[in-house]
Amino acid sequence: MAKLIKRKIITRTVLLVSMVSLFTDIASEMLYPILPVYLKSIGFSVLLIGVLEGVAEATAGLSKGYFGHLSDIHNRRVPFIRAGYALSAISKPMMAILTAPIWIFFSRTFDRFGKGIRTSARDAMLSDETTPEHKGKVFGFHRSMDTLGAAIGPILALIYLWFYPGQYKWMFFIAFFPGLIAVFLTFLLKDKVKGPQPDSRQFSPSKIGFFSYLKYWRKASPGYRFVVAGLLVFTLFNSSDAFLLLALKEQNLSDTMMIGVYIFYNLVYAAFSYPIGVLADRIGLKTMLVIGLFLFAVVYIAMGFATTLTIFGLLFFFYGIYAACTEGISKALISNMARKEDTATAIGFFNSFGSIFTLLASSIAGLLWYSIGPAAMFCISGIGVFLVVCYLVIIFYSGRVNLK
């Protein structure tokens, strides 16, 4: 670690941003396993829960593009990061205090809106902190810390529920504290001064259209358009991880065992994200991305035929490796294909459409699950992603598009 800091790869800013993500994910993932149960306990139907999550995720998706574009225009990252994490922290106790459906919708959307405000600016700040040859390390380190929080959160939830079964409301107040630590850490971040700032009156939010970031597609490089198009098609086959957990339930695994497998997946993801980032900088981001997507295809096809806990454990292990090979790596690759002044817009465009396509993917997966069965759904997704891998191999290695 000392050697990395000396070489200015894992800088103070990268470490702070990663710690902010760690504490935020502890807060969020404490609530993730119990949120549907809590909502049902206060009168939400399954349909209403689905509508709530759809509206919340759509809000996050659309706002990622807009606020990423705004971050580039104002040449600022920290205000968006700080505001986004603050909104998410405040939303946690709101969901316990205000339990009427309209206020639950407001609180949950508040949380996702915060994610939309901060995500693209945060990823752009990570990109600004390093050079193209070290993007894998930086994004891998961030994903490692972020996902470690995603493992710690459910562990804390299990411990709490062991002592206080069924008392869900207090978990929202407990989750507020790691969220508050994350907000405090954002006040230690500083923007880099990269030149004269634009006149804020000329670029006020009211003068920037909410969908103005869509214009980036026309000015983006051919490489960016080819890669993002392929990744968005992949997203259509990449439904919510809830379907993987449902596959466990289909085999009559207990809730505790199901959450345990989810924790195991996150620990694998966290443990391998940084080493894979280091390796990606050596062998190439595009090669690592192809490996990761190929692993996804294999895991999904095999998931349709898995029947024992041992096989599920093996598949979730490789699913964690897939995530480590793709999540941070894809953003690192996209940031390398964008001009420095357009980094947040380029990432925001991808994040925005990625969130919307994820919603579509989950809807399609749910339809396939109930119409032709889970095994067929997993196989169709795996085969679809295998075709995406073939497309990306052609794009990456044909020599027609210059990709870093």
CA-wise closest residue to 325 among 288, 371, 370? 288
Residue 201 confidence (pLDDT) above 70:
no
**CATH number (domain holding residue 49):** 1.20.1250.20
Total-model pTM: 0.84
Domain assignment present for 156: yes
Domain assignment present for 197: no
Q: What angle do CA 174, 176, 179 make, to 5 degrees?
A: 130
Domain assignment present for 199: no
What pLDDT digit, counting tens, does each position of 212-249 carry?
Answer: 787 888 888 888 899 999 999 999 898 877 778 778 87
What pLDDT digit, counting tens, does each position of 265-310 carry?
Answer: 989 999 999 999 999 999 999 999 999 999 999 999 998 888 888 8
Q: Which domain holds residue 374?
A: 8-191+214-397
Q: Residue 67 in 3-state DSSP?
A: helix
Domain assignment present for 404: no
User: Who wins on pLDDT, 5 or 387?
Assistant: 387
Count of domains in the chain? 1
In this prediction, what percent of the chain has a pLDDT beyond 70?
90
Q: How far apart are CA 223 and CA 402, in angstroms?
A: 6
Domain assignment present for 22: yes
Domain assignment present for 208: no
Q: How far apart are CA 191 and CA 125, in angstroms?
A: 8
Mean pLDDT throughout 363-377? 84
CA-wise closest residue to 358 among 243, 262, 237? 237
User: Who wins on pLDDT, 336 or 99?
Assistant: 336
Domain assignment present for 402: no
